[in-house]
Structure 1
Amino acid sequence: MNKYISLISISLILSACQSLAPENNSPANDTDPLPLTQTSSTVTKTTDFSTDTLISLLTAEIAGQRDRFDIASKNYSQQAQITGDPGVAERAFRIAEYLGEEQRALDNALAWANAAPDSLEAQRSAAIQLAQAQRYEEAMQYMEKVLIAQGDTQFDFLALSAAQSDQKNIRALLQSFDHLLIKYPQNQQLVFSKAILLSQDDRKADALTLLEKQSKKNATAATILLRARLLSQLGRGEEALPLLRRALEDNPEDGRLRITYARQFIELNRFEEGRAEFIELLQQSPSDDDLRFSLALINMDLKAWREAQAYLEELILRGSHINAAQYNLGQVYEELNDTEQALNAYSAVFVGNNYLPAQQRIITLLLNDGRLRESATHFNEQRSARPDVAIQLHLIEAEALASNGHTQTAWVRINQALQDHPNNPSLLYTRAMVADKRDDLPQFEHDLRLIIEDDPNNAMALNALGYTLADRTDRLEEARQLIEQAHELEPYDAAITDSLGWVYYRLGDLATAERLLREAFDAFPDAEVAAHLGEVLWQQNKQREARQVWNQALANQPNDAVLLETIQRLTNKD
């Protein structure tokens, strides 16, 4: 149920933390993109520069004024290392940071921090650059200097940068935090940062316990947001609601708390309450189209189609989330049984992640309406307009035609596609599937073997060929070898495990077949897997258990042809 939440930053916790970036590292104005004549720190000593240094720095200043920042960066960086002057080092750092020169920025930040040990900004800058270079323990040393000097500081950026690192770095940094917490056990930033690291180390319960041990009196919004998220991740989302509610009573204007509170209702499938909170949020921030889109999707979950339609149409009028809004509007019109409006909405999706799903819906609607010729015209036009996704459009068209009973037309279309894109593996695979529907086993095998010849590790093709040989021929040993190979490549793929179970059933090894099919059904309780497992159980006189498996699958897929055929065939013999 998180499809609309993704539009609202999942990093609300992070936004509760203040940035440690220096204030003076952005362009001063539009005409002076890099003010080379200023530094933000006060130089506390006067340095007598050599003639070579003065010439180099003057050259850097002139180069900067002429937009040759590469020369400015090179010269300043060289002189920062040569002179050890804090002003030069800071300027070198600012230029390198502006240009995105990571190594130079790090070297110059360290030079600045070492040259200006009393500058807290220099120590922070060095710590940030070290953290970005994944040198976390060194970064901690610089941050401890800031902590000693001012009695408090923020360590969360270290934890957040390390969160994307490997477990070794995370655990090393945890040890560093533990050492500092011995000295500063009441420092909330250290506690908060350690909790972030614990959560990234798959120790969410430990992270939550750590936060809950802290005084509730001085809990920050960031701490509360992290606690709520941990509760939700631990399956205790209901406990997050009163925590957030109390925080909102104390801070009613805090948008981060309110949006997390609203999201929590959605995660708990309490859509009515979530909708009420989102409506209040939108009233507070009427220009926030992310909230407006979330409300549209919440109303869709509540089957409040007209309300959803209103929000989506408003987004389109506002020129916001246009393609996503049009796609969802198409779904709304489908629910309202307005095919033409649905087609118009889907046709208005031109780019983005919703473009291909929109094409799938268009051909389904057209074929359901008997408009076969119109669907052909539409897809020819789309391939001309979007040659970058022509193969995907061929696949959508052919698969939809085959699935809707137009097997011969699908056969013609997929062969046309292969004329334009010879030996494309996706098109070959789809042609094989269409050939299977036409009972053309030689063509089916021919196309899959072409794929395997080009890519011997194509598990999908290996499995498809092996399963069909096991299901429809007596070439069982050959089938087993193909499926075993696929299984070695994808040992956790339930479809392949199902195929392997089925071939062992066909070979007469019922015990192995049952074990594999149970494994597949536990991972993916699909109707076809249920049909296979039920048949193996039935053949072992476990009829009662077979019926339980079938009934479980029928509850979700009551019209599956394979399952119904299996039940009919076996129970008629009973």
Structure 2
Amino acid sequence: MGLLLSLLSACSSTPEQEPVVAEPEASIASPEIEEEEAEAPTRPFPADSFHDLLVAEFAVRRNRYDLALGNYLQQAHQTRDPGVTARATRLAQFLGADKATLDAAQLWVELEPDNAEAQYTTATMLAKNQRPLEALDHMTTVLEQGGSTNFAAIAASTLSMPEATRNAAEARIDSLLVTYPDNTQLLTSKALLVQQRGEPEAALDIIREVLEIDDQDLHAVVVEARLLQQLNRVDEAYVRLEKVVASNPNNRRLRLQYARMLMAKDIAKAKQQFEILLSYSPRDPDLLLSLGLISKETQQSDDAKIYFQRLLNTGNRTTEANFYLGQLAEQDQDWEAAIDYYQQIPPGTDFLAATNRIVSIYATQGRIDTAAEYLQGLRQQYPEHSVRLYLLESELLLKNGRTEQAHALLTEALLISPDQPSLLYARSMLSERLDKLDLMEQDLLKIIAQDTNNATALNALGYVLANRSERLDEAYDYITRALAAKPGDPAIQDSLGWVEYRRGNLDKALTLLQAAYQSFPDHEVAAHLGEVLWQSGDQKGAIKIWEGGLKRRPDSPIIQETMERLVPAETPAK
């Protein structure tokens, strides 16, 4: 048994972690608690438990933390030994295994209810798992025992929760403040909850009470700065943080907050602060990304490339690193390098954006078929993204004058996904261009059958019927349904104004089109409004609107067609 105790004692110092710079608003890390020497259990472990614990200890020594944690958790529940349970809790916390940490910590509290570390860890894990009211029970126990607390973390965990939960938490904090009126943790928690309630001035008064009690409470300083920023007292916040950072140059959390605040005022100075932080943690991915983006924003491309490449080398946030390196390569017109970076981005957040950039580069080079083949290959490799990839290819073909080919491609896609609304809508728009109005109507009606309030499909069908048929009552019905689904939408107001014009209601048409043009001065709306003004006898007003539309879109075909149709050749432009 002595060998096992020796091994368990050796485990008490878990491997060092790199310092975390980007701490949450209220840290929920466990306080530093000196570990006591493991005491010999009052009863011997069974042989199988001894074996599993021995395996766990050797697994720790070989960095097989997953195996070690599994064994420790199992034996914690099997032996119900406080020492084993404490070890399981600490190892789970070190690994960031929140569910396992909470499981082990709750068992630890059951076995040693007077252990402050067990209570504290349980409280922080419950808060992290969106169970703040239970967390308050355990943190209150730590407070009553005279231990270090972190009520602010619990308060912070309620900020995105329902109002009833926040109110209940605040009531609990208020009751504790009756007994502990000068407790800075409780006061900070109260300030956070008051701020969330929309009372920043009152929250600032409370946080300044904290600073009167303890002017070295750095978390309170950060909260104060954020409140000043919220109250638009930005200069005051800068001065305050600058002084505190100067007095506490090694406090990374303060410096990080200062750097973030400087981003809105002095980006060069913000970069200096981020560089200082990076000197403490040279492989911190968040800092490398921030510095890369700052450098890119300030046109310091060489610096940006260095930071993004360093980020790539960490193996973290590689998607962002590759995407921004691709953009920088595009700026340098290094098309091959840009494509290579974009191709490293797997399906996820930036996958489609990167794919679009690759397609755009190929198109710029006139390699339309290469771009199409690339998209076809991706569809085979990632069938779950096939719909968006079909749409990208159809857009590529359409932009390059291959309308029939794009229409055929969408028809192929609809054989695979016959009810997909995006594909149906895209084909309907191409069908209208190709005068296949029956197919256009069929596709839009299919969308509407699936979603009777689909404003986009209703408006599109109504507008085409109003513009290219005499089915004006049907058009009016579709468009009014669209406007009911999306009130105030200027594009739908434009359609309704146009159908009113086609029905001969010039006054209604003019009112609707003027409202649409005021909020959305698009060239198509300008064409329609100008035509209604012209037919109402206000030719000068019509020409003024058309000229304004042409300034925004000089090549507008609809304005040019409208003017050619209505304005006599001898009429002066102005």
Matched-pair contact (CA < 8 Å) for 1:462–1:482: yes
The equivalent of 1:31 in structure 2 is none
Determine which of 333, 336, 339 is the counterpart of 1:343. Answer: 339
Is the Cα contact below 8 Å between 2:479 and 2:495 reproduced in 1?
A: yes
User: In structure 2, what is the equivalent of residue 482 of structure 1?
Assistant: 478
Q: How does 1:238-317 map to 2 (within 5 A)?
A: 238-268=235-265, 270-316=266-312
Report 1:365-376 matches (<5 A). Answer: 365-376=361-372
Instruction: Give 3-state SS (helix, strand or coil) of 2:352's partner.
Output: helix
- The change in CA–CA distance for 1:150 and 1:213 in structure 2 (over 3 A counts) is closer
Is the counterpart of residue 364 in structure 1 residue 360 in structure 2? yes
CA distance in 1, matches of 2:561, 2:471: 22
Change (3 A) 1:370 1:479: same
Unaligned runs of 5+ in 2: 1-18, 56-69
For structure 1, which segment, 434-443 or 559-568, has the greater mean C-alpha deviation from structure 2 after superposition? 559-568
Match of 1:561 in 2: 556
Alpha carbons 2:132, 2:158 under 8 Å: kept: yes
Q: Indicate the residue corresponding to 2:150 in structure 1.
A: 154
With over 3 angstroms needed to count, the CA separation of the structure-2 counterparts of 1:278 and 1:480, relative to structure 1, is farther
CA distance in structure 1 between the aligned counterparts of 2:208 and 2:121, rounded to whole angstroms: 32
- Cα drift, residue 156 of structure 1: 1.8
Change (3 A) 1:177 1:292: same
1:228, 1:283 → 2: CA distance? Answer: 24
Quickly say closer, same or farther: Cα 1:130–1:329, change in 2 above 3 A. Answer: closer
Q: Is the 8 A contact 2:188 2:210 kept in 1?
A: no
Aligned-residue CA RMSD (Å): 5.0
| Higher RCO, 1 vs 2 (CA within 8 Å, ≥6 residues apart) | 1
Aligned-pair CA distance for 1:195: 2.4
1:394 paired to 2:405: no
Equivalent-residue separation in structure 2 for 1:553 and 1:239 (angstroms): 46
Is 1:12 aligned to residue 23 of structure 2? yes
Unaligned runs of 5+ in 1: 1-7, 25-37, 47-53
Out of 394-403 and 305-314, give the one that drifted further. 305-314
Q: Normalised by the size of structure 1, how large is the TM-score?
A: 0.72
1:333 aligned residue: 329
Per the alignment, residue 350 of structure 2 pairs with: 354
Contact 1:137 1:173 in 2 (8 A): yes
Give 2:449's aligned amino acid.
E
Alignment: residue pair count: 530
Distance 1:59 1:220 in 2: 50
Whether 1:527 aligns to 2:522 is yes
CA distance in 2, matches of 1:562, 1:448: 25
Q: Judge conservation of contact 1:518–1:533 (CA < 8 Å) in 2.
A: no
Report the alpha carbon displacement of residue 169 of structure 1 after superposing the two structures with TM.
Answer: 0.4
- Partners of 1:426 and 1:350 lie apart in 2 by 23
Q: Contact (CA 8 Å) 2:493, 2:516: kept in 1 or not?
A: yes
> Which residue of structure 1 lines up, in the alignment, with residue 450 of structure 2?
454
CA distance in 2, matches of 1:474, 1:41: 92
Change in 2 beyond 3 A, CA 1:345/1:177: same
Matches of residues 502-541 of structure 1 in structure 2 within 5 Å? 508=505, 514=511, 518=515, 527=522, 531=526
Q: Percentage identity across aligned positions?
A: 31
Distance 1:128 1:303, change over 3 A: closer
Residue 14 of structure 1 aligns to a residue whose secondary structure is coil
Aligned mates of 2:140, 2:387 — CA distance in 1: 57
- Check whether the contact 2:22–2:256 (CA below 8 A) recurs between aligned residues: no
Deviation, structure 1 residue 152: 5.8
Letter in 2 for 1:266: M
Say whether the 8 Å CA contact 1:501–1:512 is kept in structure 2: yes
Counterpart of 1:288, as a letter, is D
Report the secondary structure of 2:211's partner residue. coil
- Cα distance in 1 for residues equivalent to 2:183 and 2:205: 16
Contact 1:112 1:122 in 2 (8 A): no
Residue of structure 2 equivalent to 1:218: 215
The TM-score, its normalising length taken from structure 2, stands at 0.72
